[in-house]
Amino acid sequence: MSAEPVRIAVDLLGGDHAPGVVVDGAIQAADADPQVLPVLVGPPDVAASLLADRGADGRFPVVAASQVVAMDEHPARAVRAKRDATVRVAARLVRDGEAAALVSAGSTGATMAAALFTFGRLAGVTRPPLAVVVAALEHPVVLLDTGATVEADANLLAQFAVAGAAYARVRFGLAQPRVGLLSVGAENCKGDPVRKEAHDAIAAVLADLPAEFVGNVEGGDVPLGGPADVVVTDGFTGNVLLKGLEGMLARIAGDSELRRAAGDLDPDSTGGGVLLGVDGVAVVGHGASSARAIASCIHLAAQVASRRTAIPHERDEDIAMARPWASS
Amino acid sequence: MSAEPVRIAVDLLGGDHAPGVVVDGAIQAADADPQVLPVLVGPPDVAASLLADRGADGRFPVVAASQVVAMDEHPARAVRAKRDATVRVAARLVRDGEAAALVSAGSTGATMAAALFTFGRLAGVTRPPLAVVVAALEHPVVLLDTGATVEADANLLAQFAVAGAAYARVRFGLAQPRVGLLSVGAENCKGDPVRKEAHDAIAAVLADLPAEFVGNVEGGDVPLGGPADVVVTDGFTGNVLLKGLEGMLARIAGDSELRRAAGDLDPDSTGGGVLLGVDGVAVVGHGASSARAIASCIHLAAQVASRRTAIPHERDEDIAMARPWASS
C-alpha cells in the first residue's frame, strides 16, 4: 500500500518566526507521517544551515527562492514584482506538478495573490475565500472568509456559500451541508444591509446545489456548532471572530488546569486556512505560527491534496467554482 | 453607613425566558446585596403570582406595564407606538428619579429606543453604543459597540472611542485609558476602508482627551487584554465577536472538567451591556439570560448608577457625550 510521499512546498521565509520554526514544523510533520515530504522553498544556504543545526542534513529537498513579501507591502503588487518570492516559487511548484500543495505562514494577501496568478481562478470565482475548520462542540464548522477579502457584497457572500458547501461536502463527506449566514440575530430580519441582501442571494444560488440554506446564525454557533456546517461571512468579520476564538483558547491556556483539559481545542493543532476557488491547494498559516502549527498546516495541505484525485470532475460551473482542488 | 437601597427598574417581560427567570434573577440579586432593590415593571398579577410561587410575596415594588416589544418588531416603531411597553415604563421611572437604572433582557433595539426617547442623547451623540466589559486575561476590556448599531462610519467609530474611554475612566479608574481600533492586523494599513478612515478620526478626537490611541488591535486582544483597555468596532462585528467568545466559553463548559476550572469566565457572571451616550443608565442583558445573568445585570446597573454622583459634571461637550450617566 506504500505510495510515493506527498510533496508539500513550504514557504521557508513566511511567518513571524521563520525560518527556524518552519524547519522545525517540517521535521515534526515528516516525523509524524512519513508519507509527507516537505519541500523547503527559500535560500538554500539558510535551509542547509538550519537542517544541519537539527541533525537533519539533506532530509528534505530544497528549491531556491530568495525574495520575501513583507507584512506591510501591498501583497498583489509585491508578488507581481518579485518573481523570486518564496511564495510565488512555491506556487509554481504546485502548478508544475512538483508539489501537491503549498503552505505559507507569511502574508495571507501574498499567498492569495501567488495562488491567483499561478493557479488561476476556477470558473465563477471573483475573490477566493480562506476557509478554516473550527473544532466546534457538536461538529466541525467551516468558517469563511477568514481574511482573504475584507469587504464582501451579497454576491461575493453567495460565492463563498457555494465554495464552503463544496468544501464541507468533500472534506467531511456531507451529502447536503447546512449553510448559515453569520449575522447579529437568528431572525432573518436581523443584520446590516449586505446581510439582508445576501440572504436572498445565498438562498437562490444554493437552491440547485446539494446544500441546505439554514438562514442566519450567530457568533456563538461557530464554536458550538449549531444549525450550520458552513458559516459564511466577509473576511473582516471572519478574521476578527476567528482570532477572538483563538484568543479565548489562549486565555484559557493561561490557566494551567484549563490548559490540561483543553487538549483538542489547542489552536495550534487545527491547521491553517485553505484557499478555495483557485485551481490548486494553498494552505495559509498564522503569521505567529509555532512549529506545531506549521506541522498542522503541512498535514492539512497533504490531506486536502490527497482528496484531489478522488473528486469527480464535474463540469458544472456552479460546482466547479467551489472545488479548491479541481483540475481544469 | 447604611443608605437607601438602590432601586433598579427591571423589565419583567424582557428575555426569552421571561418572566420567570427575571423574578428569579431579581431575588438572587437582592439576596446577594440587600442594598439593591429591584422594581418589577410588568403586569402586576403576573409579578404577584411569580413572587408568591417563590415565597416572596410583596418583596419587591411592582410598577404596572402591559405591553411587550417582540424580537421581530421594528424596535423604534414599536417602542414609539407602545406607550405602555415594559421597557418604556422602566425608562420613565429612571427619568423621573424613581429608579437609578433600568435592566432589560428584551430586544436591544427596543431598550435603545426607549432610552433615546426617554433619557435623551448626550451632546455630540448620534447613536448610543452598547459597551460590554470582557474579563480578559490581563485586564478588563471594554468592547463597544456590541450590537446597538449594525453599521458604523468613521465618525461614529470615533464617537464610540470617546464614549468607551470615558466609561473605562470612570468604571476602572484609569487616568488615561488605551483605546484600540478592532481590525484584521496590527499594522495600521490593515482593514477595510471604514477602518482606515476611522484611524485618523479616532486619533484626532482622542488627541485632546485623557486617553491614548494605540492603533489597530485584533480579535484575540479582546479575550487576552492586549494593548488596549477599550476596543472600538461597529455593532455587527462587536456582536459577532462577543457571541463567539461567549459560545467558546459554553463550548468549554460542555466539558465537565473545564467547567469546574472555568469559574470566573462564566459569561453569566459578567453582566450585560451598558448603553453609553444617553442621559440615564440602561443595562441590556442577553435574550437568553439565565436568572444568574439577570442578577449580574442588576448588580452592574446598581454599580454604574452609584458612580453617577461621583462624576464631575464637566461641561466639555467632548467629554459630556461620553458620560453614560451624566446629568444634563
ipTM: 0.88
For A136, name the nearest residue in chain B, comparing CA atoms only: B251
Answer whether residue B265 shows pLDDT above 60: no
Most confident among A189-193, B84-88, B187-191, B286-290 (mean pLDDT): B84-88
Q: CA–CA separation, A284 vs A277, rounded Å?
A: 14
pLDDT digits (tens, 9 = 90+) for B271-310: 789 999 999 999 999 888 899 999 999 999 998 888 764 4
Instruction: Report residue B263 as a C-alpha cell.
Output: 469559574
- For residue B243, give the nearest of A187, A220, A239 by CB distance: A220
Contact check, Cβ <8 Å, A250/B220: yes
Residues in Cβ contact with A181 at an 8 Å cutoff, skipping those fewer than 6 apart: A157, A161, A191, A195, A198, A199, A202, A213, A215, A216, A217, A231, A232, A233
- HEC-encoded secondary structure of B40-72: EEECHHHHHHHHHHCCCCCCCCEEECCECCCCC
Give one DSSP letter per residue of A191-238, joined into a string: S-HHHHHHHHHHHHHHTTSS-EEEEEE-TTHHHHT-S-SEEE--HHHH
Angle among Cα B232, B91, B300 to the nearest 5 degrees reads 50
> What is the reported pLDDT for B310?
44
pLDDT band per the 50, 70, 90 thresholds, residue B314: very low
Residue B63: strand pairing partners: B41
Three-state secondary-structure class, residue A59: coil
What does the pLDDT read at residue A268?
Answer: 60
CA distances from B273 to A241, B26, B31, B270 (A): 19, 17, 22, 9
Phi, then psi, of B225 in degrees rounded to 5 = 75, 65
Does the structure show a pLDDT above 90 at B248? no
The alpha-carbon gap from A240 to the nearest alpha carbon of chain B, in Å, equals 4
Which residues in chain B have their CB less than 8 angstroms from residue A192's CB? 150-151, 236
- Please list the residues that pair with B36 across neighbouring strands: B6
To probe the interface with A, which of B132, B188, B240, B284 has the most A CB atoms within 10 Å? B240
Is A240's CB within 8 Å of B252's CB? no
Contact A255, A39 (CB under 8 A): no
| Interstrand relation of A101-104 and A6-11 (parallel, antiparallel or unpaired) | parallel
Closest CA–CA distance from residue B156 to any residue of chain A (Å): 16
What are the C-alpha distances in Å from A109 to residues A24, A35, A82, A105, A288? 24, 30, 14, 11, 15
* Residue A52 burial (CB count, 10 A): 11
pLDDT, average across residues B113-130: 91
Inter-chain residue contact B240 with A233, CB threshold 8 Å: yes
Q: Measured between alpha carbons, how far is B102 from B87 in angstroms, rounded to an integer?
A: 8
Interatomic CA distance for residues B166 and B205, integer angstroms: 13
Rounded Cα–Cα distance for residues A283 and A272 (Å):
6
Closest C-alpha to A252, from A239, A237, A267, A236? A267
- Opening angle at CA A15, ends A161 and A83, nearest 5: 85
Minimum-distance CB partner of A184 among B147, B245, B254: B147
Contact assignment for A71 to B185 by CB distance below 8 Å:
yes
β-strand B130-134 against B273-275: which pairing, if any? antiparallel
A73 or B117, higher pLDDT: B117
Q: Say if residue B119's pLDDT is above 50.
A: yes
Residue A73 C-alpha, separation from nearest chain B C-alpha, in angstroms? 9
* Alpha-carbon gap: A72 to the closest alpha carbon of chain B (Å): 7
Which residues of B fall within a CB distance of 8 Å from A134? none
Q: With contacts defined as CB-CB under 8 Å, which chain B residues touch A151?
A: 192-193
A175 Cβ partners below 8 Å, 6+ apart?
Answer: A169, A210
Query: What does each C-alpha distance from B290 to A318, B28, B223, B268 come to in angstroms?
Result: 44, 11, 22, 7
| Predicted pLDDT of residue A254 | 62
Per CB-CB distance under 8 Å, the chain A contacts of B249 are: 248
